[in-house]
Amino acid sequence: MPENRISDPETWVDQFGDYLYNYALSRIQNPSTAEDMVQETFLAALRDRGNFKGLSTERTWLTSILKHKIIDHFRKMSREHPVDDLDSATDFTEDLFDEKGSWTLKPSNWNANPEKLVDRKEFWEILNHCLSDLSKRLALAFRLREIDGMNCDEICNVLKITPSNCWVMLYRARMSIRRCLEIKWFDVKAGEGSQ
């Protein structure tokens, strides 16, 4: 593999600015904070560019710096706003089951092919929409776990929660997203198929 050389920092904003901004915005949802993150990333990269070994692409290198910035941001937020979603949010999972714990809203047959799904842009839009319905902390826990692939120990560290909080938050996030996808994507598709 050819060794990756670092390009002129003056070209970074045009080369990677939009990509990093998308990345930050998809996790932070606040445009001006996301812009700040991108700026801080470039500044940090400018300071550290001597350490760029060329083992990854520049974009991967910049993204990993941005990831750390985002995690620091979440840490700081968790310190400043230690709101506990588990107490404040109503637990909608109660509605899915009766008093004996059996399904009242039974999961429908999705009949889905994951390989086809990942190619569908509309599917991602629905998934993003379902994520945006969650409370911020639940959405964040889900993103960190399932999209960024962190484990619960790392998430606990970022969000300042206990492991059992982490499991409960992920459970609620998954329940909510599953139901949302069922309503907004799969049932609609099933309806189209039968007509």
Partner 1 sequence: MNHWMFNCKEVTYMVSESLDRRLPFFKRIGIRMHLLMCKFCSRFRRQLLLLKEVSRAHGTHLEQFESPVTLSPEARSRIKQTMQQH
CA distance 20 to 41: 9
CA distance 87 to 85: 5
Cα 11 to Cα 47, 48, 52, 84: the distances in Å are: 16, 16, 16, 43
Site residues (vs partner 1, CB under 8 A): 9-10, 12-14, 17-19, 21-23, 25-26, 35, 38-39, 42-43, 46-47, 93, 96-97, 100-103, 106-110, 112, 114, 117-118, 121, 123-125, 127-128, 142, 145-149, 151-152, 163, 166-167, 170-171, 174-175, 177-178, 181-182
CB of 167 to partner 1, least distance (A): 5
Rg (the chain; Cα; Å): 20
| Nearest residue (CB) to partner 1, 3 versus 90 | 90
CB of 84 to partner 1, least distance (A): 19
| Nearest residue (CB) to partner 1, 3 versus 103 | 103
CA distance 93 to 176: 8
| Nearest residue (CB) to partner 1, 71 versus 117 | 117
| Nearest residue (CB) to partner 1, 26 versus 157 | 26
CB of 193 to partner 1, least distance (A): 17
CA distance 75 to 77: 5
CB of 158 to partner 1, least distance (A): 15
Helices and strands, counts by H and E, the chain? 10, 0
Residue among 46, 40, 1, 6 nearest 21 (CA): 40
| Nearest residue (CB) to partner 1, 9 versus 82 | 9
CB of 179 to partner 1, least distance (A): 10
